[in-house]
Amino acid sequence: MSRFLVHRFLQAAALVAIMSFACYALIGLMPGDPIDLLLSSDPRLTPEDVARLKALHGLDRPLVERYLAWLEKAVHGEFGYSRLYAQPAAGVLWPRLVNTAALMGTTLVLAAGLALPIGVAAAARAGTRFDRIVNALCFAGISVPTFWLALILILVFAVSLGWLPAAGIPMARDPGVVDRLRHLVLPVATLALATLGGHVRYVRAAMVEALHQDFIRTAHAKGLAPRRVLWRHALRNALLPYVTVLALDCGTLVSGALVTETMFGYPGMGKLIFDAVMGNDYNLALLALLLVTALTVACNLAADLVYAALDPRIRQR
């Protein structure tokens, strides 16, 4: 097991290193640089200003040279300053990371918590009216654009009914937990509704397949209670593919949800990464993207371990 872990850890480290160069190169290859953009919006800038600012931000040096300089510092734990925010990149990232973890974590727990019972119930009643209604709602949830869903929820619950705040974060200086949660309701509902359909479909499909396996027939023949067969025997097998989906979704815990964050004015990672990439803020964008990569890799590693816990055959291998 330890050999397996070491092997996977080395693989993950190599992947993160490759990703760092890929991200750096892709941002660098984008047309224009921040000073070009600044120039187009501020006609007062002189050619001297442009040359001075490009040199100051290192934009006049070759891409590979800049990447190697960054890498040298990064391996020593120095991720540099954010060009946009003029603060240490890690310092800019941290509050956004907390916000995103709260938003996406709640969403993921809610989506998974609802998807399991709904997916299992739909699979157990496959082909019935209930199953068809669940399927239709799932497709509706998957098809509805997030920005539209967010807007409708804001208009209904914040504008018309006035029950919930339209913004995702309170403006009070020291908001209480309840106030924070009230502000999270609509963004979480938007994301949960948008992702729930997909999760239910995964659980249902896995369960339908599991319910047609021989061991289920054997369990029934042994005289086990149908509920026990469903929840203990079928679900345990159906969870394997669903764990993969959850592991892949774990990356969103730090990558955020750009559209939802924009709609609710929520300061999260999605918007931060977008702004950092568009603003050629290499240090910030790289740190954020590497964090997403590292977490996704770590979650997939965790998923492998969960497989082993769920399926004794994997442990034996």
Partner 1 sequence: MRRRRPILASLCLLLALALVRPGPAAAAKDELVIGITQFPSTLHPNIDSMMAKSYVLGMTRRPFTAYDRKWQLVCMLCVTLPTIENGLARPVDLPDGRRGVEVTYTIQPGARWGDGVPVTTKDVVFTWEIGRHPMSGVTSAEGYRRITRIDVKDERTFTVHVDRLTYEFAASGSFQLVPEHLEREAFADPAQYRFRTKFDTDPTNPGLHFGPYRIVEVASGSHIVLERNSTWYGPPPAFRRIVVRAIENTAALEANLLSGAIDYIAGELGLSLEQAMAFETRHRDRFAVAYKPGLVYEHIDLNLDNPILKDRRVREALLLAIDREKLTQSLFGGRQPVARGAIHPLDWIHADDLPAYAYDARRAAALLDEAGWTRQGGGTRLNAAGEKLTFELMTTAGNRTRELVQQVLQSQWRQVGIEVRLRNEPPRVFFGETVTKRRFPAMAMFAWLSAPESVPRTTLHSQSIPRADNNFSGQNSTGYANPEMDRLIEAIEVELDRDRRRALWHALQHLYAQDLPVLPLFFRSDSFILPRWLSGIEPTGHQYPTTLWVENWRDARP
Q: Nearest Cα to 276, choosing from 26, 40, 105, 53?
A: 26
Residue 234 near residue 218 (C-beta atoms within 8 A): no
Structure tokens belonging to residue 180: 């924070």
The CA dihedral of 219, 127, 110, 202, to the nearest 10 degrees, is: 80
Q: Which is nearer to partner 1, 5 or 91 (CB)?
A: 91
The least distance separating partner 1 from the CB of residue 59, rounded to whole angstroms, comes to 11
Q: Which is nearer to partner 1, 175 or 198 (CB)?
A: 175
The least distance separating partner 1 from the CB of residue 235, rounded to whole angstroms, comes to 18
Q: Which is nearer to partner 1, 8 or 182 (CB)?
A: 182
Q: Which is nearer to partner 1, 139 or 148 (CB)?
A: 148
Q: How far apart are CA 98 and CA 107, in angstroms?
A: 14
The least distance separating partner 1 from the CB of residue 197, rounded to whole angstroms, comes to 23
Q: Which is nearer to partner 1, 243 or 289 (CB)?
A: 289
The least distance separating partner 1 from the CB of residue 306, rounded to whole angstroms, comes to 26
The least distance separating partner 1 from the CB of residue 257, rounded to whole angstroms, comes to 13
Q: Which is nearer to partner 1, 88 or 241 (CB)?
A: 88
Q: Which is nearer to partner 1, 106 or 135 (CB)?
A: 106
Structure tokens belonging to residue 61: 């040096």
Q: How far apart are CA 179 and CA 152, in angstroms?
A: 22
Structure tokens belonging to residue 307: 């497989």
The least distance separating partner 1 from the CB of residue 288, rounded to whole angstroms, comes to 13
Cβ partners under 8 Å of residue 104, min gap 6: 191, 252, 253, 254, 256, 257
Residue 64 neighbours by CB distance under 10 Å = 12
Amino acid at 66: R
Q: How far apart are CA 295 and CA 309, in angstroms?
A: 21
Q: Nearest Cα to 275, choosing from 290, 253, 293, 256?
A: 256
Write 275-279 long-range contacts (CB < 8 A, 24+).
Answer: 275/84, 276/82, 276/84, 277/27, 277/30, 279/34, 279/83, 279/84
Binding stretches for partner 1 (CB under 8 A) = 30-33, 36-54, 56, 81, 84-88, 92, 95-96, 147, 150-151, 154-155, 157-159, 161-167, 169, 171, 173, 178, 181-182, 185, 262-268, 271-272, 275, 278-279
Q: Which is nearer to partner 1, 81 or 307 (CB)?
A: 81
The least distance separating partner 1 from the CB of residue 27, rounded to whole angstroms, comes to 11
The least distance separating partner 1 from the CB of residue 210, rounded to whole angstroms, comes to 25
Q: How far apart are CA 197 and CA 54, in angstroms?
A: 48
